[in-house]
């Protein structure tokens, strides 16, 4: 019985919706990196962005693809995983030199609904979800958190490693 209660507690604690940053506004619709940068409502963004150290070797492997890579991100400003991974992604994208127009960021509410698009069509169940495209074809996804690091998982998705 105690082990079942412990298991339920662990599941609840690891869920995005349990611990919310009370200072963070819940966004819904299209957004960009500029939405979060230097905003008191999203202080978590600059904090994580500045703290994250990119793997320069892997970033250099990604640079030749900077103009070919398109990314669709579905995220929630209220979600702890988003608050960790979104700033890290943008730091990597900035280091690689991915043009802003190649990144589309869709923010969802706590029900994972967006006013910008029908997210269910994308078959997104967990957030953040990073969907990578090359030549108009989906190359793969990183869902919630990378297996290793965003850079390493992206290089693996694009068969650079």
The domain spanning residue 39 has which CATH number? 3.40.30.10
Q: What confidence tens digit (pLDDT) does each residue in 2-34 have?
A: 554 444 444 433 445 433 444 468 889 999 999
What is the rounded average pLDDT of the residues 105-114?
Answer: 93
Residue 9 counted as domain residue: no
pLDDT at 153 over 80: yes
What is the CB-side half-sphere exposure of residue 135 using CA atoms within 13 A?
Answer: 2
Residue 138 counted as domain residue: yes
Burial of 72-82, coded b for 16+ CB within 10 Å and e otherwise, reads bbbbbbbbbbb
Higher-confidence residue: 39 or 21?
Answer: 39
Distance CA 59, CA 152 (A): 9
pLDDT at 113 over 50: yes
Residue 46 counted as domain residue: yes
- State if pTM tops 0.75: yes
pLDDT at 7: 40
**What is the span of the domain harbouring residue 137?**
21-157
Number of domains in the chain: 1
Burial of 53-65, coded b for 16+ CB within 10 Å and e otherwise, reads ebbeebbebbeeb
Q: What confidence tens digit (pLDDT) does each residue in 40-88 have?
A: 899 999 999 999 999 999 999 999 999 999 999 999 999 999 999 999 9
Residue 129 counted as domain residue: yes
Under DSSP, is residue 157 helix (H, G, I), strand (E, B) or coil?
A: helix
C-beta of residue 161 within 8 angstroms of C-beta of residue 155:
yes
Distance CA 91, CA 102 (A): 15
Residue 130 counted as domain residue: yes
C-beta of residue 149 within 8 angstroms of C-beta of residue 63:
no
Residue 13 counted as domain residue: no
Alpha helices in the chain (DSSP H): 2-14, 33-36, 43-51, 56-62, 80-96, 150-157
């Amino acid at each position: 019985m105690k082990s079942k209660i412990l298991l339920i507690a662990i599941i609840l604690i690891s869920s995005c919706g349990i611990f919310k940053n009370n200072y963070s506004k819940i966004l819904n619709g299209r957004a960009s990196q500029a939405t979060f940068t230097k905003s008191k409502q999203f202080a978590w963004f600059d904090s994580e962005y500045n703290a994250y150290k990119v793997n320069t070797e892997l970033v250099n492997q990604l640079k030749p693809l900077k103009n070919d890579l398109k990314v669709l991100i579905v995220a929630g400003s209220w979600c702890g995983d988003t608050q960790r991974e979104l700033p890290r992604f943008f730091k990597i994208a900035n280091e690689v030199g991915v043009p802003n127009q190649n990144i589309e960021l869709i923010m969802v509410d706590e029900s994972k609904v967006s006013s910008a698009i029908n997210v269910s069509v994308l078959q997104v169940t967990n957030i953040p979800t990073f969907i990578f495209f090359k030549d108009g074809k989906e190359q793969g996804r990183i869902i919630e958190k990378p297996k290793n690091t965003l850079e390493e998982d992206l290089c693996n998705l694009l068969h650079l490693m």
